[in-house]
Structure 1
Amino acid sequence: MSFRIDSKTNGLSPKKSKSQLFSTIDSPNQDTIPGSVMDGLTLDVNEPTYKVYWTRWVMLAFFVMFSASNSLQWVQYTIIQDIVVQYYGVSSNLVSWTSLVYMVTYVPLIFPASWLLSRTGLRVTTIIGSFGTCAGAWLKVLSVPQDMFWLGFMGQTVVAISQVFILNVPPRLAAVWFGANQVSSACSIGVFGNQLGVALGFLLPPILVRAQGSIEQIAEDFRLMFFLVAGFTTLLFVLILLFFKAAPPSPPSAAADFGSSLDSNFYQSLKKLLTNRNYVLLLISYGINVGVFYAISTLLNQLVLTYYPGANADAGRIGLVIVVAGMVGSVICGMILDKTHRFKETTLAVYAASVIGMVIFTFTLDSGIIGVVYLSSILLGFFMTGYLPVGFEFASEVTYPEPEGTTSGILNAAVQIFGIVLTLLYEWMLGEVGDRWSNLTLCALLALGTAITAAIRSDLRRQAAQNKG
């Protein structure tokens, strides 16, 4: 007696309507027994099989490095704001805009970028983003002369535009390449890349550019910093162009198979997302949390130097501590989500802990002991930055089967809007009422975000599809 399992589709399905696909999931194909008993019993199971490929880790590693190469340039100027103001002779407000330009360009461009991702896939958009990041870095190499800050700002703008091909990718890449039991962890590692870059952006500029050097020394320091970044982004662009793939040969899970089988219509997806109550609430709460992080990160140099004059390197290291702690938080939260699938509970717990971390940071900033500020920054970063992949994954759950790239793209658009508003508000309040009331305002906003998160229903659509599949 012989049994033959025939997976004719090899995990790939033709385009179907949603009603057909739900019907397929609810009523799986029956085993067929062709031939007679005398000929031997043959079991033909015409159902897809799912396989993960080891190359998924290579694709994820490429993306992590690519994301880091872009995000490390976000605070490249603002973390050494006092040096940039002195060397180039520009206002501190203009230096702040080298960070804000990341947020301003993202909002209008994320919609065409999300459409392009849904139509062309991961490879095309990743190549475009990597090329832009590389090109912007080389423009900054040419901006070292003191009268060329405008060219550096232009390069920063090109890099910022390239960000639209990065921030919405982690949940999409995780869903396309990773199995159901690894998708949250993979998403958290993808977000880890962005955080790694921000950490390097906080760490390296204060080390590479001397605050007390002569004009000639500072010029050499800027040249070295810009060349290092340009060289790194060039190497990554070549590697991505040669080796990065859009998708594996077959889907890694039932949820991925179902999602890839749908006919994607960007505008219909957009309409469905913006009429999804849970998603809209998450847009607001996620925007508040990450917007607060953007505001603190952009003005951290000014914040620290207020109480610790001359502590330029410490300002960078405190930013590093915030982000590194967030990396650890991201990975731990991703593992918790993969093990428990408690998306609502995890999101709410991490958000509430962010409020506590911000309160402690507020009341320890002026302690006079910078070591205490480091410790409070660890707590703040672990939960506030660790929240990033948790929010991504929760959004993917409550909006499934809408494309992850569109879901995360709109989520990040909301983040940029909140980031612009909160950064400008925070900068104004620091000058008018001081850091204590400014930080307490951020605490109140985070508390509001926690309440909004509590109002989101735990509608785990992707988990339901995976269980049926």
Structure 2
Amino acid sequence: MSTTSATQEIKVYGYRWVVLLAFMFVSLTMQIFWICYAPITGLAAEHYGVSDLEIGLLAMLFMYIYIPLAIPASWAIDTWGFKKAVGLGAVMMGVFGLMRGIWTADYTAALIATIGIAAAQPLFLNAGTKLAANWFPLSERATVIGIGAVAPFLGIVIGQMATPFIVEATSIDTTMLIYGVIGALSSLVFLLFARDHPPTPAGYEERVVMLEGLKHILKLRDFWLLAFILFVINAIFNGLSTWVEVMVRPRGMGVNEAGIIGGLLMIGGIVGVFILPPISDRMRKRKPVFMAGLIAMIPFLLLFAFINNFVVLAIDTFLLGLFMMGLLPIALQYGTEIFYPAPEGTSGGLMTLAGQLSVVAITGMGLSNEATGSFTLSLIILVVAMAVSAGLLGLMKESKLITAK
């Protein structure tokens, strides 16, 4: 069992915000790489001479590749430490991001570079709870995970909203080169400024080693319930993000409108993470706020399937993003607490893995659209799954860690 000696002084350091900002920068650029083709699916398909589904694959690869790498990434984070593990991911992202920006004329080259970027992503996605545990006291962690989540949300906003306009002003080749340079710069900033942990701990919590923690988590009923909930939330989020341009195209909306709709999902999420996680921290409870977000998502998702007016769809998407993305930091911190004493990297990795498995549903959405010409059936199924998720959360226990502190 990994322990922190009670003789060491607990102290909170101002430098924790520098480390958080460095991590946020690489997280932001990673999400740009993930989603930047989504709002220009049709244009990119024409540019490369491939189908919409093959362009969608450039986003879905991030989720497919995450699945086999999730546990190794968690092992690396818990064994090597936050700085070394995320640093490796930053180097990979910087190198392959530049490659995708330089060799842009060929779909195969873009696909290979995307695989390299996607292989780095698990080291980012699984590290947020580790950073929070190393540098921040328990009473701040849901809020901090929420603040950290702003960066990937902003990355998605940029990828969704800015990409169509940059492509329109320049070209797909130039746009990808710009993103490649930003990715390399963010990687350098992380390597220069990030630190693994402060000189003295931010709190005392014993955690078992990874293998013991993994066995412990997999025996918990609440893990499987939470895993299903995260699967559904991520199926909705990733599905809308991946297929947004294809979803709104039949409603008479172009790539610029698609980018705005996709961006508003994230902007709503950014607002949400500044509202819902702090409420949870102040209440010292996770379940009530988590449940409120799940229930609030249901009507907005149902409306998304049927709205044809751009303004109304924009408002609906913003509100859907507010509740959906605002509750994710709570869900992740809730998991690390109810899975105690498993290491944060292990618990965070398993929860993210559950979410990334949603790529199966996202692929199914694309295939269903090709067969029926509509995403309506897929969205209705997700509405039902969200209602089931709210019921499952009602069966779960409140976090004892947060209520005891």
> What TM bracket, shorter-length normalisation?
over 0.9
TM-score, normalising length from structure 1? 0.83
What residue number does 1:236 align with?
186
Does the CA-based 8 Å contact 1:70-1:163 persist in structure 2?
yes
- d(CA) in 2 for partners of 1:454 and 1:174? 27
User: Shift of the alpha carbon at 1:363?
Assistant: 3.0
Give the residue type in structure 2 aligned to 1:321.
L
Mapping 1:337-416, distance limit 5 Å? 337-364=280-307, 366=308, 369-416=309-356
**Pair 1:161-2:119 in alignment:** yes
Mapping 1:13-24, distance limit 5 Å? none
**Pair 1:86-2:46 in alignment:** yes
**Pair 1:294-2:238 in alignment:** yes
Mapping 1:44-443, distance limit 5 Å? 47-145=7-105, 148-210=106-168, 221-253=171-203, 257-259=204-206, 262=207, 264-309=208-253, 311-364=254-307, 366=308, 369-418=309-358, 420-433=359-372, 434-443=374-383
Structure with the bigger percentage of helix: 2
Does the CA-based 8 Å contact 1:355-1:446 persist in structure 2?
yes
1:2-61 superposed Cα distances (whole Å, 9 cap, x missing partner): xxxxxxxxxxxx965xxxx9xx9xxxxxxxxxxxxxxxxxxxxx8543210000000011
Does the CA-based 8 Å contact 2:102-2:177 persist in structure 1?
no
- d(CA) in 2 for partners of 1:97 and 1:47? 52
Instruction: Look at both structures and tell me which one has the larger radius of gyration over its CA atoms.
Output: 1
- Give 5+ residue unaligned stretches, structure 1: 1-13, 25-45, 211-216
- d(CA) in 1 for partners of 2:64 and 2:320? 26
What residue number does 1:31 align with?
none
Give the residue type in structure 2 aligned to 1:174.
A
- d(CA) in 2 for partners of 1:360 and 1:353? 12
Give the residue type in structure 2 aligned to 1:279.
F
User: Shift of the alpha carbon at 1:346?
Assistant: 1.1
- When residues 347 and 54 of structure 1 are mapped into structure 2, their CA distance, relative to the original with a 3 A threshold, is same
- Give 5+ residue unaligned stretches, structure 2: none
RMSD of the TM alignment (CA)?
Answer: 1.9
- d(CA) in 1 for partners of 2:238 and 2:85? 25
- d(CA) in 2 for partners of 1:428 and 1:237? 36
Give the fraction of aligned pairs with identical amino acids, expressed as a percent.
24
- d(CA) in 2 for partners of 1:393 and 1:248? 21
- When residues 462 and 150 of structure 1 are mapped into structure 2, their CA distance, relative to the original with a 3 A threshold, is same
- d(CA) in 2 for partners of 1:91 and 1:394? 40
| Number of residues of Structure 1 aligned to a counterpart in Structure 2 | 404
User: Shift of the alpha carbon at 1:245?
Assistant: 0.3
- When residues 181 and 461 of structure 1 are mapped into structure 2, their CA distance, relative to the original with a 3 A threshold, is closer
- d(CA) in 2 for partners of 1:411 and 1:448? 18
Does the CA-based 8 Å contact 2:334-2:399 persist in structure 1?
no
Does the CA-based 8 Å contact 1:398-1:462 persist in structure 2?
no
Does the CA-based 8 Å contact 1:195-1:323 persist in structure 2?
yes
Does the CA-based 8 Å contact 1:292-1:422 persist in structure 2?
no
User: Shift of the alpha carbon at 1:462?
Assistant: 5.3
Give the residue type in structure 2 aligned to 1:348.
M
Residue 342 of structure 1: SS of its match in structure 2? coil
- d(CA) in 1 for partners of 2:395 and 2:167? 47
TM-score, normalising length from structure 2? 0.95
- d(CA) in 1 for partners of 2:293 and 2:400? 18
User: Shift of the alpha carbon at 1:424?
Assistant: 1.7
- d(CA) in 1 for partners of 2:26 and 2:348? 18
Give the residue type in structure 1 aligned to 2:268.
A
Give the residue type in structure 2 aligned to 1:339.
R
1:84-140 superposed Cα distances (whole Å, 9 cap, x missing partner): 111110111111110110001001011111111111111001111111111121111
What residue number does 1:41 align with?
none
Does the CA-based 8 Å contact 2:277-2:326 persist in structure 1?
no
1:316-372 superposed Cα distances (whole Å, 9 cap, x missing partner): 0110001110111012112112211220111111111111221222232x2xx2111
* Range that drifts further, 324-333 or 231-240: 231-240
- d(CA) in 1 for partners of 2:193 and 2:8? 28
Structure 1 outlier segments of 4+, above 6 Å: none
Does the CA-based 8 Å contact 2:264-2:314 persist in structure 1?
yes
